[in-house]
A and B are shown apart, each in its own frame.
Chain A
Amino acid sequence: MQDISKNDQELAILVQSGKVDFFDILFNRYEAKIKRYAKKFIYQEEEINDAVQQIFTKAFINIKSFDSQRKFSSWLYRIAHNELVNLLKKKRHSFLPLFNLDVFLPRNYINNNIEDNIDRKNMQKQVEQTLEKIDAKYREPLYLYYIEELDYKDISEIMKIPVSTVGVRIARAKKLMKNILNSKII
């Protein structure tokens, strides 16, 4: 019954048409990723599981808002982002503030895909080591870019920030990461 050869978008269309069993495959594909993403912002196992459950429940409820011309992963991460932001707001943690100056002005950034892809593979371990010490504002794009291997455009859609701001935040996060690693060596 469950055709795992279908891509995410095709599965989402099937769920939208009422074949809800296919949601099972989408859950299996993304459960670990979403859980890993949530772990970067909340730390208690129980809270993480609740958040994951909430994210997938909301994904099902809102699946008819998914546009099959776009990537399902970006859409799902967007739901996860909103859920985690709301959760942290409730806990009164300082997460992404309401307004950031870096989304206001145009910024120059370099997005060299070939270099970045090599860089990405090399950087993953360092990112994993330092991620928790980096401010959430920079942590999220850094995580989505290096660990989840999403591109700037996808991250821009997930975080609802300009593409140039994604580039700037990743560049700043890399600087912070280097500082952390250097201080460890010293």
Chain B
Amino acid sequence: MENSNNIKEDILQKIKSGKVKMKPKIFFVLKTGFFILLFLALLLFAVYLISFIVFMMKASGLWFMPGFGLNGIGILFRSLPYFLIILALALIIFSEFFAEHFAFVYKRPMIYSLSAIVLIVIISAMATSQTSMHAGIFQRARENNLPIIKPFYEQASNIRPENMHAGIILDINELDFNIQTLSGQNLRVIPCKNGKGKTPKILSTGERVVIIGPVKNNTIDCLNILKVADDGSLTPLYKMRRKMK
């Protein structure tokens, strides 16, 4: 009883002397606002990062690897940008952590909120990747207009999985053809053996292709080739140089 009185007296004395003060209502309003803003910022960053990963995979050709079957899937898993994927996952987990601040989230099993966040992020990221946002930034980075972002976007042209080459056809001959990769490297392609050593007729200049095959002295010995859809958002370097001239 004596102890209890001591505690009470001590607290009341601190309150009356002003040593202990109530935090104003605005502090809690701002704190909630800060949590909401931080949650949205993390979500937006996750959307941006995942859409960038998709862009990078499409630009480098990795996205199309499953089209080559098991061999392509193997290359895909060996070459995924794991650091960025882990970073995106960490952002999603942090978003969930901030969402758990709100009663309507923590009162329900975590799987619901986490699934909702993952779904929102993936749908928004896929929608963003359909726009030319990243291609535009990438283009400006290549033109040296974005010094800070440049190294980040350069990763897209630096993904070069072993034996996988993506590029745009520069010219076609009967027995070989030349491509230019995203980083501006020109490579000669010896057509695939299954094409009886001739350039497939379905290919034409300016088309984007992904090729699997070993490279030696800037010449690819094609094992498999895939023509991929090009939305025209990635201007090849040779066209850029022409424009600049």
Interface residues of A (CB under 8 A from B): 15-16, 20, 23-24, 27-28, 31-32, 35, 45, 49, 52-53, 56-57, 60-65, 103-107, 153, 156-157, 160-165
Contact = CB atoms under 8 A, between A and B. Distances in A.
Contact of A156 (B11, B16, B107): B107
Contacts, number: 78
A62 B138 CA distance: 49
Contacts of A53: 7, 10-11
B69 interface: no
B109 A165 contact: yes
Given A31-B4, A35-B4, 20 more contacts: A23-B12, A27-B12, A49-B7, A52-B7, A53-B7, A53-B10, A57-B14, A60-B11, A60-B15, A61-B20, A61-B23, A64-B24, A103-B109, A104-B110, A107-B109, A156-B107, A160-B100, A162-B108, A162-B110, A163-B107
Nearest to B110: A104
Nearest to B4: A31
B10 to A, nearest CB: 7
A28 B7 CA distance: 11
B23 A62 contact: yes
A106 B115 CA distance: 13
Contacts of B112: 106
B98 to A, nearest CB: 13
A45 to B, nearest CB: 8
Contact of B22 (A61, A105, A153): A61
Main secondary structure of the interface of A (DSSP, over half): helix
A4 to B, nearest CB: 15
B23 A106 contact: no
Interface in B43-94: none
Interface in B99-113: 100, 103, 106-112
A49 B3 contact: yes
B196 interface: no
6 contacts: A16-B22, A27-B12, A49-B7, A57-B11, A61-B22, A64-B23
B21 interface: yes
B109 A164 contact: yes
Interface of B: 3-4, 7-8, 10-12, 14-16, 20-25, 27-28, 100, 103, 106-112
A53 B14 CA distance: 11
Nearest to B8: A27
Contact of B7 (A31, A62, A107, A163): A31
A156 B104 CA distance: 11
A64 B25 contact: yes
A56 B7 contact: yes
Contact of B8 (A24, A63, A64, A153): A24
Nearest to B103: A157
A164 to B, nearest CB: 7
The 10 A-B residue pairs with the shortest CB-CB distance in the complex, in nearest-first order? A65-B28, A106-B109, A64-B25, A104-B110, A160-B106, A53-B7, A162-B109, A27-B8, A20-B15, A103-B110
Contacts of A107: 109
A141 to B, nearest CB: 14
A106 B110 CA distance: 8
Contacts of B108: 162
A64 B111 contact: no
A56 B27 CA distance: 19
Contact of A106 (B20, B25, B100, B111): B111
Contact of A105 (B27, B107, B109): B109
Contact of B11 (A15, A56, A65, A103): A56
Contacts of B110: 103-104, 162
Given A106-B109, A106-B111, A156-B107, A60 B100 contact: no
